[in-house]
Structure 1
Amino acid sequence: MANASAEKIAVVKEVSEKLAKSNAAIITEYRGLSVGSLAILRRALRPHGAEYKVYKNTLARFAARESGYGELEQFLKGPAAITFIDGDASAVAKVLKTHAKENPLLVLMGGVVAGKAVSAKELKALADLPPREVMLAQLAGMLQAPLTKTANMFAALPRKTAYALKALVEQREAA
C-alpha cells in the first residue's frame, strides 16, 4: 500500500480501529438490499452496541489482517458488510437472523466471535441462544438449587422431630 491514497489509508485505519475495539464481527452479504432496508437494520442493531458498515473488500481484508481478525478474510467476498459488535454477540446475531428472515436478500456469511471464526450455521445457532443475562440467571439458579435442597433437608429434621414430639405429647394427654 505504498502508493495508496490518503483516503484508502484512512479507511484501513478506521476499519482496523473498529475491529480492535470490537468483541466480535459478523459479515453479511447485502446484494440487492434497499437503502431503507439497510437503515432499518442499522437502527435495529444500534441498541445492541453494534454498527453495520460497508467497505471495499480489499481494504477490509487488509485491515482485518492488520488488526488480528485475519479469519474474516474468507467471508469478505462479493458485496459484503461488516457488523462491528461491542455488546452481546448473540443479541446482534439474533437481530441479523430476524432481519434476514424478513428480507432474504440479506445473507449471513460468517464472522469472528471470541477470537474464533464462525460459519453462518454457527451464527444462526448463536442467535438461538438466550441473552447473556438470562443464561447467567439460569446458571445462578442451577448453582443455588443444591444449596436450597440441602438447607431444606437440614431444616426438615428439627421440624419433623418437633411434630413427632407434639404427637407424642398429644397421645399421652389423650390417654
Structure 2
Amino acid sequence: MFMLKQQKAKIIDEVTKSLSNAQLILLTDYKGMNVENITKLRDDLRKVDAEYKVMKNTLLKISLTNVGLSIDDLSGSLEGTTAILYTDKDPVMALKVLYNFIEENGNIPVVKSGFFERKFIDQAQAKEFSALPPKEVLLAQLVGQIQAPIYSLHAVLSGMLRKLVYVLDGIKDKKPN
C-alpha cells in the first residue's frame, strides 16, 4: 500500500506516543488470520487495556527506535507480516489473553519477540510470563511470605509467655500464704 510521507510521519508519531509508556510490546506474525480473527483478538485485548495493530516493519523500526528501544535483538522479528501488541497497564493479563486466543485459534498469531517492561523477551519468555498469576495475587503472596516469620515469632513468644505464667501460677499455688 502506497503512503505519503505525511501519512507515514503521522503513523510513526501515533505509534511512538503509544509505545513510550508501554509495559509490554510484543511482535507477532499474523499470517493466516482473517479480519474476523484480528477483530476478535483486538476486542479481547481492549478488555484488558491492550492494543493490537498491524504495522509495516519499517515504520515499526522507526517507532521502536524513537522510544529508545534497541532493535538489534529484533532482527528476525521485523520480517514478514507483523502486528504489534502493546499495553501500558498489566502486561501479564495482555499475554494471558493473547495466549488463550492462540490456543483457541490453531496457534495463530505466532509470537515473535518483544519487550517486557523495556527488556527484550523472546517467544519462550513471553509464554512463561503469560503463566504468571495476576499482579494482585503475586502481591498477596509476597505479603504472606513477609508476614509468615512475624506470625511465627509472635506464636513462639506468646507460647513462652504463657508457659512463664503457668510456672508462676504453680509456684504461687505451692507457696503457703
The corresponding residue for 1:66 is 66
Paired residues of 1:28 and 1:82 also in contact (CA < 8 A): yes
Paired residues of 1:55 and 1:81 also in contact (CA < 8 A): yes
Shift of 1:163: 3.7
Amino acid at match of 2:62: F
Paired residues of 1:53 and 1:81 also in contact (CA < 8 A): yes
Residues matched between the structures, number: 170
TM-score (norm: length of structure 2)? 0.86
The corresponding residue for 1:159 is 162
Q: Cα RMSD over matched residues?
A: 2.1
Shift of 1:165: 5.0
Gaps (5+ residues) in structure 2? none
The corresponding residue for 1:81 is 83
Paired residues of 1:93 and 1:127 also in contact (CA < 8 A): yes
The corresponding residue for 1:33 is 33
Distance between the aligned counterparts of 2:69 and 2:52, measured in 1?
17
The corresponding residue for 1:47 is 47
Name the one with the larger helix percent.
Answer: 1
2:21 is equivalent to residue 21 of structure 1: yes
Gaps (5+ residues) in structure 1? none
Distance between the aligned counterparts of 1:21 and 1:51, measured in 2?
13
